[in-house]
Chain A
């Protein structure tokens, strides 16, 4: 199985900060990575697909990049409503696997 190592597991940042989360795949997966946002008590929501494509309706402060084994998710200018857990996911090879999640809160 492809392991997705996501870091950090948690972080605290201030409103307006730039936040970066990384995911490293245990083997080459081209660009087949998605990022999801999960607010407390809610279902996940797709934010970025195919490593760098912003889902329709998602604010432009969110972005993704990377290819191969190293992927990055960025929030430019953190907003209070961005408090959530963020998950990366690979779908290059079955079984589909997720990172362990990054819990983000406001300082």
Chain B
């Protein structure tokens, strides 16, 4: 059974840092891109960024709202994806979901598996 479990959320003051982890099991982690999506309270879904599989360069892409503050990394030996969040702002308050990203014909396709989410609250 495929599982993605986020951890590391909590209350943090503006300007501080937080690191989220996504521990996975049940699939060959290295074959997939991994991705983060967030959802502010009562709002819609917002793409945060992804990291490609190593076979596709392991490169990262980010939304403009988090670029230069957030960093996505992966440890294929442990099947873990991480989201390092620096210089946090109150508007970063959201539930953060880790997702698996499927490739079709070498191109990123759908977010086919999701974790349960972890809440990050940025407040003084």
Contact = CB atoms under 8 A, between A and B. Distances in A.
Interface size class of A (residues with CB under 8 A): 20 to 34
Nearest to A98: B45
B61 A94 contact: yes
A95 B50 CA distance: 11
Interface in A50-107: 50, 55, 87, 89, 91, 94-101
A98 B112 CA distance: 15
Contacts of B63: 95
Interface of A: 34, 36, 42-46, 49-50, 55, 87, 89, 91, 94-101
26 contacts: A34-B109, A34-B110, A36-B45, A36-B111, A42-B116, A44-B37, A44-B45, A44-B97, A44-B114, A45-B114, A46-B110, A46-B111, A46-B112, A49-B109, A49-B112, A50-B104, A89-B45, A89-B111, A91-B108, A95-B61, A95-B63, A96-B47, A98-B44, A98-B45, A99-B44, A100-B44
